[in-house]
Structure 1
Amino acid sequence: MMRHSMSHVLASAVGKLYKDVKFAIGPAIDNGFYYDFDLPESIKPEDFNKIEQKMREIINSNLDFIRKVISKAEALKLFKNNPYKTELIKDLPEGEDISIYYLGDWVDLCRGPHVENTKFLRGFAFQINRVSGAYWRGSEKNKMLQRVYVYGFDDKQKLKDYLTMMEEALKRDHRKLGKELGLFFISDYAQGMPFYMPCGMIIKEELIKYWREVHKKAGYLEIETPTAMNRSLWEVSGHWGHYKKGMYSFTIEEEDFAIKPMNCPGGMIYYMENMHSYKEFPLRVGELGKVHRHEASGTLHGLFRVRCFTQDDAHIFMLPEQIESEIKGVIDLVDEVYSVFGLTYHLELSTMPEDHIGERAEWEVAEKALENALKKLGKPWKLNPGDGAFYGPKIDIHIKDSIGRTWQCGTIQLDMQMPKRFNLEYTDKDGNKKEPVMIHRVIYGSIDRFMGIITEHFAGAFPLWLAPVQVKIMNIAENSLEYAKEIVALLQAQGFRIELDDRNEKIGKKIRDAQLMKVPYMIVVGEQEKEQKLVAVRGRKSGDLGKMKLEQFIKDIKNENDIKAIF
């Protein structure tokens, strides 16, 4: 309520400072609020201070938020010079009362609620963050507006803590680290489609290797389905009617095809290829499938929002009575995987959206099944109404990183529509044909996005098992180079990723360069180490670890690597 009220204060301040302003919308968001403006001039960072000052003047004026209810005709007359408000009003049903809020001489179309008076906002801490472009109603066909984002919290310490977190996030930006550490880049020739460099490929492959390891142990089979399939498949699945704008399509020999935006329909085709018995259930089928989605260019963001990515999908075909145990099995897998990265999480139950397929009664059954499973798990969860997939409700898994940010990665979607649309069947114990229940689920969500998240989570200082270069060997002088090469060979024979720095540079510079590349361990060898057959070891975090036998060092890092220690 305070953030919503502050968005009106922001709009009123901008209206007093700039001429010919047309006001669009201004909601509250998780870390503050924003307002969209149509202005003949640009709002610049140097203007932020005067806008904030004007906002404080308005707050200190003790103005009431006055609500009035008017008719649609009155609203159209009141906002006749504002095309944005007029459009919103025209979209409202005939005969519906319309609420407006006055703040001094400024008025806005708004459902509310707000605080009673600006005096209740005096302790509210805020700071303008940035101005960015935003299309009216999110459509590229509409005019670009100026969106003013403001951080806002109910006390100064919360704002201070948030700003500190944002400063830390800036240092951890995976796009910056991706370039510095040689992980990935995105070319203008393929916007939103990452190019992985050798170091990035090592991390990606280690994530995939670990995924295969835990899924094999959990009883999953792995398949691979085609990248492009014909239109009829996507019509059966419902994606052609509900997701066509997000798909890349093309024609071959007068037949329409689409590159898959998700793996699910391919999983259905795999199931249909053979007859199935209830004895096979639960049938757990995983796929590391590359998918492509037509995301708007303005939404693309490093590895977080891309147009092609590898999804760690899986589909579980089962009996109705196996729903709760299979959901528990997926959550157990989530616990195992996320704990390896030091990530905690919370759960949200997302229910039927407006744009859905299937009958409401079917959705209610599915939603109840997920709710019962959550209750039996005994983990805290919250309801997220209307945010389910178009084919079924879901449990979304939101992880928390090392600086307190949350990310939605894993999801468990209960689908009672896809099996019906594809006429999936199994033979029950009485020999009758029945329709299986199906769960869609991901753990990483997208390997690419997850890689971006853990890059920021670890600030690029990956644990030993993920680090592209695990140990860097450095010789002090030419006379210790051969000994350094012997160490390289021995460590490589043990399967470690090793790099030799034999440049004609001072050892201090070599150490600093290795630290900048966030290498977990450094071995320094000189004449003394060569004569004593020892190695001088430095840790990325622990610093000088002293001299030791190479066999002891190998034993220590092998254990650290095998248990996937975080630090």
Structure 2
Amino acid sequence: MGLYQRCRRLRFPGLHACGLHTAAVPTPPHWLVERLGYFEELWTAQVKRLASMAQEEQRTIKISLPGGQKVDAVAWKTTPYQLAQQISSNLADTAVAAQVNGEPYDLERPLETDADLRFLTFNSAQGKAVFWHSSTHVLGAAAEQLLGAVLCQGPSTECGFYHDFFLGKERTVKGSELPVLERICQDLAAAAQPFRRLEASQAQLRQLFKDNPFKLRLIEEKVTGPTATVYGCGMLVDLCRGPHLRHTGQIGGLKLLSAEYTRRGFSEVKTPTLFSTKLWELSGHWKHYREDMFALQPPGLDRPSSSQSDHSASPATDTLALKPMNCPAHCLMFAHRPRSWRELPLRLADFGALHRAEASGSLGGLTRLRCFQQDDAHIFCAPDQLQAEIRGCLDFLYSVYTILGFSFHMALSTRPSGFLGEPCLWDQAEQVLQQALEEFGAPWDLNPGDGAFYGPKIDVHVRDALGRPHQCGTIQLDFQLPLRFDLQYKGQSGALERPVLIHRAVLGSVERMLGVLAESCGGKWPLWLSPFQVVVIPVGTEQEEYAREAQQSLQAAGLVGDLDADSGLTLSRRIRRAQLAHYNFQFVVGQREQSKRTVNIRTRDNRRLGEWDLAEAVQRLLELQDTRIPNAEEIF
């Protein structure tokens, strides 16, 4: 008997009576009880309807399995999970969902027609999304039961999941409640509650979620057909497309990582984050994972681009907007005098400060700020120059990211539904970007409909030390700003022609890239970037004068050279202090080194490189710095 059935029999006397050891959990709120009762009525009716359809039709359907095998199944009765059991017990245990004719599908949802059937496991990106999205529902259920939370959104991410919910203007999650919340999640997972998929009409949806304004808004704006799907799991009922795991027991352990508070208008959103672990165990690394939190945005809004703001206002208004960019200024610079085809491509760059009105709860370290700098560049070129310029941008990007030691992944975002301009221009621009990506040779994904309203774009994503993705660089085509600023140049034929604008940012937000780079380095900066390159350490006071000469030699060469002549500490303590501060190198000078004008070199990892002539050591450091080698300590 499941958790819900036991609660129902006891008329919801709280989770403690359901066998969960959470005495601090209050009796479920009345609206949750009412919603669950209505869901059960609809669920019972759906079960009867499907059973009747299966009985009446008794129709055999053909199912194509992986490997080309074809089997018979019964319409409205046979499920993908039953077929997985027939194939192998291992597949039945590891499958998290199915694909039916290429579409995601619940394992326990009966098959309806002839179909091509594939199985998703946690090894695929789609399988991970199903696994973590199911884990999100467990967190939502715990928040409703413990906190009386009004659920907002709870998506999976590339590396985990989080949930936004509303507790009221003044209510916050107390520190003492976090262990209880985590324990409820663990108990719900252990209870192996099934995920039940219900198709409901719009009227039924509004009745189910009459006490949740966030869901009502989603229903109004997103549910365009006669029905939409709802999933029940234990006491949770949530509007969701699915698919989901068969039951919560497949999730395993969940660990609460953080709770952040964000503000949107008058309302606060409390966002606890958990991490589920049964299928992803990386030697304990997951315990240190921290997923970035974002403020809840109105449904249907795209995520803010890290490069472009909304140019839907007039050019004069753009320069005064809350999110000003360099684009209008560079357009004005292009337009301030007549231009000729001989000047193209015209490339303008600006590292000026930019501003965005970010919500307070969405700010985070260096990765999301209200004021930031961007290596913003705009290239005005003729249409026949686009291919070469895009390739040049990609080569530049590759050069910079390689030097920084980042691997990166690119995505081509194409025409959105609310685009501006002529479709033929969009088709041409998308073909240019796709051809450039194919010639470049690096892996890339297609994001249909995710382009900016003014043109398609290539977004560049890097991962930090914890595997979190960050969108940094971008290459975007823009036909609208040249049109709206009436940008023109005299072509070779003498006629006036309109340029194409390329927005290009390699680092994106300089602060964000610095934050990602800092985490990637973990304090151990490569020599060419390090703020602590060399420290000179005299053995005794007699060598202090020579140590200062060595320091001056480093500084004269343009290197960062410090001196640690603290007589209150032993030599070994000073060496250890330098290594803990991550100085790339330590120059130790004693009586022998002073007499021979040499230095004894150690690295921050305590590798002993031996005695070097001072001038030669400085020259070697310059060579390593100029070549931007990431491991200068190893190859010195």
TM-score by length of 2: 0.69
Change (3 A) 1:501 1:379: same
Q: 1:31 aligns with which of 159, 162, 182?
A: 159
Change (3 A) 1:92 1:303: closer
- 1:185-217: per-residue Cα shift (whole Å, max 9, x none)? xxxxxxxxxxxxxxxxxxxxxxxxxxxxxxxxx
**2:533 corresponds to:** 470
Does residue 544 (structure 1) correspond to residue 623 (structure 2)? The answer is no
- 1:293-318: per-residue Cα shift (whole Å, max 9, x none)? 22222222222212222221211122
Q: 2:140 aligns with which of 5, 11, 18?
A: 11
**1:79 corresponds to:** 209
**1:378 corresponds to:** 441
**1:392 corresponds to:** 455
**2:386 corresponds to:** 323
- Structure 2 unpaired stretches of 5+: 1-129, 293-310, 632-636
- Contact 2:476 2:502 survives alignment (8 Å): yes
Q: 1:522 aligns with which of 569, 575, 586?
A: 586
Does residue 127 (structure 1) correspond to residue 255 (structure 2)? The answer is yes
- Contact 2:149 2:166 survives alignment (8 Å): yes
- The separation in 2 between residues aligned to 1:88 and 1:267, in whole angstroms, is 39
Change (3 A) 1:328 1:433: same
- 1:486-520: per-residue Cα shift (whole Å, max 9, x none)? 22222222222222223333223322332233221
Superposition CA RMSD, Å: 3.0
Shift of 1:42: 5.0
- The separation in 2 between residues aligned to 1:237 and 1:352, in whole angstroms, is 26
- The separation in 2 between residues aligned to 1:49 and 1:549, in whole angstroms, is 60
- Contact 2:197 2:231 survives alignment (8 Å): yes
Shift of 1:157: 1.7
Shift of 1:55: 3.9
| Correspondences of 1:241-256 after superposition (within 5 Å) | 244=321, 246-247=322-323
- The separation in 2 between residues aligned to 1:469 and 1:27, in whole angstroms, is 42
Does residue 155 (structure 1) correspond to residue 279 (structure 2)? The answer is yes
Q: Match for 2:150: what amino acid?
A: K
Does residue 22 (structure 1) correspond to residue 150 (structure 2)? The answer is yes
| Correspondences of 1:414-453 after superposition (within 5 Å) | 414-453=477-516
- The separation in 1 between residues aligned to 2:199 and 2:438, in whole angstroms, is 43
The more displaced of 67-76 and 45-54 is 45-54
Change (3 A) 1:368 1:295: same
- The separation in 1 between residues aligned to 2:212 and 2:414, in whole angstroms, is 36
Q: Match for 2:414: what amino acid?
A: T
Q: Match for 2:272: what amino acid?
A: V
- Structure 2 SS opposite 1:146: strand
- Structure 1 SS opposite 2:163: strand
Does residue 283 (structure 1) correspond to residue 346 (structure 2)? The answer is yes
- Contact 1:234 1:265 survives alignment (8 Å): no
Shift of 1:60: 4.8
Q: Match for 1:145: what amino acid?
A: V
- Contact 1:233 1:265 survives alignment (8 Å): no
- Contact 2:192 2:250 survives alignment (8 Å): no
Q: Match for 1:348: what amino acid?
A: A
Q: Match for 1:3: what amino acid?
A: W
Shift of 1:148: 2.4
Shift of 1:440: 0.9
RCO higher in structure (CA 8 A, sep ≥6): 1
Change (3 A) 1:264 1:326: same
- Contact 1:237 1:418 survives alignment (8 Å): no
Structure with greater Cα Rg: 2
Shift of 1:361: 4.3
- Structure 2 SS opposite 1:312: strand
- Structure 1 unpaired stretches of 5+: 171-231, 248-260
**1:182 corresponds to:** none
Does residue 348 (structure 1) correspond to residue 411 (structure 2)? The answer is yes
Does residue 297 (structure 1) correspond to residue 360 (structure 2)? The answer is yes
TM-score by length of 1: 0.77
- The separation in 1 between residues aligned to 2:475 and 2:316, in whole angstroms, is 18
- Contact 2:259 2:270 survives alignment (8 Å): yes
The more displaced of 323-332 and 524-533 is 524-533
- Contact 2:135 2:251 survives alignment (8 Å): no
Q: What percent of counterpart residues are identical?
A: 36
Shift of 1:44: 4.6
Shift of 1:525: 1.6
- Contact 1:126 1:159 survives alignment (8 Å): no
- 1:398-430: per-residue Cα shift (whole Å, max 9, x none)? 123455443221110111111111111122221
The more displaced of 390-399 and 356-365 is 356-365
- Structure 2 SS opposite 1:444: strand
Shift of 1:4: 2.2
- Structure 2 SS opposite 1:545: strand
**1:235 corresponds to:** 314
- Contact 2:189 2:253 survives alignment (8 Å): no
Change (3 A) 1:150 1:360: farther
- 1:45-91: per-residue Cα shift (whole Å, max 9, x none)? 55455545544544454544333333333333333333443343344
